């Protein structure tokens, strides 16, 4: 996942970078990304061999709802701030001293910065701990395992509770 850095850049330049599953299949699979990942960035020169890349990354993640356990697609957008410096080194390095800004050092002959790790961390950080399919709606658990029980007036229960009750009964009989 690369962002091109021009050899000479005197004015800030808007760029749109689109990454697909073919660009980083492991990352797309790990983060459950669906479709393309789009970066809208502004590349600004900050002096000789130094640039600041700012903007947003947006895409769609397929997450599992913590209420219903159903998969759902969740669009997201997150901010990105990357400092890039071209110096005399053998390979690209990520400086992790500043937690708010990703600082990359790239070799003199390299005209791009690979932001895969930065993108991975930003997407993981924006992901909710307990994703919910429809957060504004009240959740009602519905089961159609035994319609006769529903008609008799008993409330359907989540099968996970039944397993916990069975475990509790087993534990209490053992004492």
| Model pLDDT for residues 9-40, shown as the tens digit of each residue | 778 888 899 999 999 999 999 999 999 999 99
61: pLDDT strictly greater than 90: yes
Q: CA 89 to CA 108: how far, in whole Å?
A: 7
Residue-wise pLDDT for 72-128, tens only, equals 999 999 999 999 988 888 787 777 776 678 888 888 888 888 999 999 999 999 999
Position 40 scores a pLDDT of 95
- The CA-atom distances, in angstroms, between 100 and each of 2, 76, 97, 115 are 20, 19, 9, 15
């Amino acid at each position: 996942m690369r962002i091109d850095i021009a050899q000479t850049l005197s004015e800030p330049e808007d760029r749109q970078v689109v990454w697909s599953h073919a660009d980083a299949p492991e990352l797309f699979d790990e983060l459950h990304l669906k479709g393309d990942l789009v970066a809208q960035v502004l590349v600004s020169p900050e002096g000789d061999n130094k640039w600041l890349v700012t903007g947003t990354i947006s895409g769609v993640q397929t997450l599992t709802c913590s209420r219903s356990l159903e998969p759902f697609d969740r669009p997201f957008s997150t901010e990105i701030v990357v400092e890039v410096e071209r110096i005399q080194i053998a390979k690209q390095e990520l400086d992790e001293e500043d937690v708010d800004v990703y600082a990359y050092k790239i070799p003199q002959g390299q005209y791009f910065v690979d932001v895969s790790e930065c993108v991975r961390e930003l997407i993981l950080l924006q992901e909710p701990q307990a994703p919910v399919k429809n957060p504004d709606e009240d959740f009602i658990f519905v089961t159609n395992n035994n319609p006769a029980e529903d008609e008799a007036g008993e409330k359907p229960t989540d099968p996970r509770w039944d397993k916990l009750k069975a475990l509790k009964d087993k534990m209490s009989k053992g004492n």
